[in-house]
Amino acid sequence: EVQLVQSGAEVKKPGESLKISCKGSGYSFTGYWLAWVRQMPGKGLEWMGIIYPGDSDTRYSPSFQGQVTISADKSISTAYLQWSSLKASDTAMYYCARHRAGHCGGDCYYFYYMDVWGEGTTVTVSS
């Protein structure tokens, strides 16, 4: 069974660092892009960024560039989303999702759709 299993809920204080994880199984982890999606309380989905675990090619939505770091350890089929200094506004549910994509030449990729989703990790930042 193809699945993504995310780490558990986190409660942190402003200014603290955090790294959450997403472990893939049932498919070739290095052969698919993996995206992170934010959902703030009562709000919609926001596409944060994406990584190709095979070579760690990483791309960020302009809204999240410089705010978070996406990484992956292909040896353990796990991707990560991390913050160096959390803010209250980082309080949200974070989902990882396998992202289907197609190559359009050079470093160009078309990002098609997300077909497998993790269950989500709740991050609460409060003093």
Q: Which of residues 49-78 bind other proteins (CB under 8 A)?
A: 49-50, 59, 61-63
Write the binding mask 71 to 110 for other proteins: x where contact by CB under 8 A, - elsewhere.
------------------------x-x-xx-------xxx
Q: Least distance from C-beta 17 to other proteins, angstroms?
A: 25
Nearest to 36 by CA among 74, 8, 66, 68: 68
- The span from the CA of 9 to the CA of 113, in Å, is 26
Q: Using the rule CB under 8 A, is 1 a contact of other proteins? A: no
CA distance 83 to 19: 6
Maximum separation of any 2 CA atoms in the chain, in Å: 47
User: What does the alpha-carbon distance between residue 77 and residue 73 come to, in Å, rounded to a whole number?
Assistant: 6
**Quick one: which of 7, 46, 69, 91 contacts other proteins (CB under 8 A)?**
46
25 binds other proteins (CB under 8 A): no
Contact 91, 126 (CB under 8 A): yes
**Residue 8 lies near other proteins (rule: CB under 8 A):** no
Kindly determine how many residues on this chain lie close enough to bind other proteins according to the rule CB under 8 A.
28
Q: Which two tokens stand for residue 9?
A: 């809920």
111 binds other proteins (CB under 8 A): yes
- Per DSSP, the residues of 45-66 read EEEEEEEETTTTEEEE-TTTTT
Q: Which one of residues 18, 30, 58, 117 is an interface residue with other proteins (CB under 8 A)?
A: 117
Which chain residues interact with other proteins by CB under 8 A? 35, 37, 44-47, 49-50, 59, 61-63, 95, 97, 99-100, 108-115, 117-120
